[in-house]
Amino acid sequence: MKKIINAPQAYTEDMLRGIYKAHSKEVKYVHDDLHCYCTTKKVPNKVAIVTGGGTGHLPLFLGYVGDGLIDGCGVGKVFQSPTPNQIFEISKEVNQGAGVLYLYGNYTGDIMTFDMASEMCEMEDIKTASIVGADDVNSGEMAIRRGVAGIFFMYKAAGAKADELASLEEVLAAAQLAKDNTRTVGFALSPCVIPEKGVPNFTLAEDEMAMGMGIHGEPGIWNGPIKSSYEIAKESLDTLLEDMPVSEGEEVCVLMNGLGATSLEELYILYNDVESILSEKKISVYRTFVGEYATSMEMGGASISICKMNDELKKYMDHPVNTPFVRL
């Protein structure tokens, strides 16, 4: 296993210690638990937004905690859910009296965690609402669809709306609007290693890629020889636009996300093809985000997300954000 680590069992905690040391002004933990990650800022009457999920996807999930985005994050061990109690403790800390929105990925463990935390909050008269990201088109029907990089657009919309001091229902509606208009297609080129296991989480041949693979190595829709950037862009956009039609003259935001080991150079090569294909279809790009937004440690590969714009979403996209990990 080629990783810069100490004891594999200490992976998540060592990482968290490093993060708190590097960004001590902006973030802190509560309940004497490193896994209960919160912003240091409190804005009275603002709806608080809490997310959570397993370690190994930086900047997802905790990296989105900060100005203009979200307020707290339950940090699980590698690819594992945080506990209900951790989410409850975070909720108590970040709640400013306006309620708490739970916004996280559509995974069974996380759903159980947040549902239980929601019940615990109810008993303390903290109002909550929940919405899951489920943007990964190739992972199935909407109800079982996994949440991946497209959750970024939901954080962005909800965070911007919350900053307007909107109600919990309005912040939920902003997240829902982003969700309804966002789709992602991803693909893997090489695996990652879960520290405590020490072996790659899947195997791909030297010339092989996996279209539709999930960010935990969930199988995709086909494995086969690596296609060219143009071919990958074409197939991905065909899938995205079949699932969510975008008409001539409409605008989208594009998120080009690297899964960990894939270079920024390649993301821009791929974007060059994505933009060309969109341009042929007379779909224009309102804004492009390129970089690592939802990774799988050192996994190779990328994902393409599109978020169809309207005036409301454009306003959310342009709202400034500033966290230790994401500044836009």
The answer to whether 11 and 55 have CB atoms below 8 angstroms apart is yes
Rounded alpha-carbon distances, angstroms, from residue 269 to 22, 27, 273: 32, 35, 7
Q: Which of the residues are catalytic?
A: 57, 216
By C-beta, is 64 or 271 nearer to a second copy? Answer: 271
**Closest separation in Å from C-beta 27 to a second copy:** 12
**Closest separation in Å from C-beta 311 to a second copy:** 20
By C-beta, is 4 or 143 nearer to a second copy? Answer: 4
Residue with tokens 């539709």: 212
**Closest separation in Å from C-beta 59 to a second copy:** 7
Rule CB under 8 A: which residues touch a second copy?
2-6, 11, 14-19, 21-23, 55-56, 58-59, 189-190, 206-207, 209, 226, 228-230, 232, 260-273, 275, 285, 288, 290, 292, 295, 297-298, 300, 302, 325, 327-328
**Closest separation in Å from C-beta 55 to a second copy:** 7
Q: How many whole angstroms separate alpha carbon 166 and alpha carbon 164?
A: 5
By C-beta, is 36 or 267 nearer to a second copy? Answer: 267
The residue length of the chain stands at 328
Helices (H), 63-167: 84-94, 108-123, 151-163
By C-beta, is 177 or 210 nearer to a second copy? Answer: 210
The answer to whether 282 and 250 have CB atoms below 8 angstroms apart is no
The sheet carrying 72-78 orders its strands as 27-29, 36-39, 72-78, 48-55, 100-105, 128-133
